[in-house]
Each structure stands twice: as C-alpha cells, then as structure tokens.
Amino acid sequence: MEQAGPRSVHGSVGTGVPDMRTGAVRVPQQLGAADVDRERGTAARGGAGAQMRSGDGAGTGAGGEARGEHTHSEVPIPGPRFTGERPVIQRASVRGQILDALRTALVTGELAPGEVYSAPVLAERFGVSATPVREAMQQLALEGAVEVAPNRGFRIVERGARELAELAEIRALIEVPVMLRLARTVSAACWAELRPLAEATVRAASSGCRATYAESDRAFHHALLALAGNTQLVRMADDLHRRAQWPLVGAPASRGRADLIADAAEHTALLEALIAQDLPVVRSLVGEHFAGAC
C-alpha cells in the first residue's frame, strides 16, 4: 500500500484550491435508478428537467447503476477563489480540479521536492476517491513534475539551478524569434489590447501570492504567443513555462514580493517595446525575462 509523505498539502487563500488540512471536499451523492425515474417524472409534469452528468471514466451498468466514479447533477462551486469554506467539487471535473490544486501546490512549494505523497492519503484529504488523485499524479509524471515511487506513491522531482537555466535557454531559442517576427507584423492597436493582462500580472505580483502570480504570468505569455497562430508552439511554450515555475530544491518556497513586482514590470516594458516595434529592446527584454524566471 502507498504510505503518506511527511508533508500535507494545503489550499492557498486566493488560489481557488481545496484546503487539504482542515476538511474533505464533498462529492455530491450518486443518483440511483429510482432517483432518475423520480427526476424524469418531475420533468414530465412540467418541472425543470434534471440533467445527469457522469464523472471521469464512469460507465453505466444494468439497472441504471453507475460503475466506477460517481454520477450526479452539477452543483456550482461557490466563488472563484477559496476563502476558507469547504467547496463542493463537481464530479464531472474533479480530476481537472485536483490536477489544478496539485499544480498550485507545486508552485508554492507545498508539495516539497524529494518528498513522497500517497494518492489514497491525498484523496482522503480532498474527500474523493484515490482514482482522480492518482490520475492527476500520473499526468504530473508525464509533465516531469513527479515520479512513481513503487509501493509508496509519487515523489516530487528535485531540480536545481542548471535545469532552470536549460529551460530558460530553450524558451529563449523558441520564443525570441517568434516575438521579433510578431513585433514586425502585429499592429500597435493589437498589442494595446493585451495591456489588461500585463496590468493583471502587476496586481498579482503586488499581492505577493506566488500561485496567483504564476497563473497571471502564464496567461500573459500565452496571449502574446497565441498571436503567432501556431497551436503547437503555444502548447510547447506553456509546458516549458510551467516547468520553469517549479521551485528549486533547497530554495525558499517562494520569491519575495519585490521580485515578483520586478518580474511583472518587465511585462509592461515588453508590451511597450512591441507597440513601438523596438526590436533590440524586445530581444533584450525577452532574453533577460527568461533568465530571471523561477
């Protein structure tokens, strides 16, 4: 059986992830065949029809009973950000929400490099079955964030400054030529439309929350590269960017607020250089921005 690692994973205030210290995330109860018949009867009498949504990988067996994951009608998650209350995770998207929560925990350092975490224990803290947690961890393994620890769980990959430098070099090789091409071809008005995203990174940096800043940072860079019209390029760049945001082994869990603000200021400066078609400044800012990212 898998054993729990020595650390717990917490939801972060302002990040929209479940709190794994204080309570389970409730999954609405599965509807059986009798419940389905009762719902259909209500709809036939003029009531609002109830829609049934199945969970990830859920199948339906004889008699209408669900096999595998739970099936239920969706309930909206209260609020865009976690505020201390226990949110209700929608079963139809539970795997994606667990994956987002674990990615946030990676960025903040709550999933510590070198530590081993058990899917069943994490699942208990989330209040779900181990299946979506294990699937999310397997996705993180494909992304290079974790590795399987046989009979124990998943170990968070340890990485150092050399890997970060390599990621910065690859990002520069891919994105600098694209940004220079876009600087020559995209209109100033089009670049100006991205100002709200650049300003959002400044606000996120001012909050001092690494997870919030990481999300807004990726959104800004994604929007820049999306103007190239190359889906594969954007997907590859997103993956490299996400990897660059994982903390280094032995490093502080997060950068200081001043560092985040300085990083966000480079977004605004880059946007102004793109609007002005100042290619030398664009080249310099993009390269320096990647080198300083962590």
pLDDT along the chain (294 residues), means of 10: 47 45 41 46 45 40 39 38 46 82 89 92 90 94 92 90 90 93 95 96 92 94 96 94 82 69 94 94 88 56
- How many domains are there within the chain? 2
User: Is there a domain that residue 260 lies in?
Assistant: yes
User: Is there a domain that residue 67 lies in?
Assistant: no
pLDDT at 28: 39
- Whether 83 and 198 map to the same domain: the answer is no
Boundary of a domain, candidates 156, 177, 201:
156
User: Is there a domain that residue 181 lies in?
Assistant: yes
User: Is there a domain that residue 66 lies in?
Assistant: no
**Identity (one letter) of the amino acid at 129?**
S
- Whether 202 and 258 map to the same domain: the answer is yes
Q: Which residues contact 173 (CB under 8 A, 6 or more apart)?
A: none
- Whether 202 and 283 map to the same domain: the answer is yes
3-state secondary structure (DSSP) of residue 293: coil
Q: HSE on the CB side for 217, CA within 13 Å? A: 26
Boundary of a domain, candidates 156, 181, 197:
156
Boundary of a domain, candidates 96, 129, 156:
156
- Residue 84 burial by Cβ neighbours in a 10 Å radius (0-12, 13-18, 19+): exposed
User: Is there a domain that residue 114 lies in?
Assistant: yes
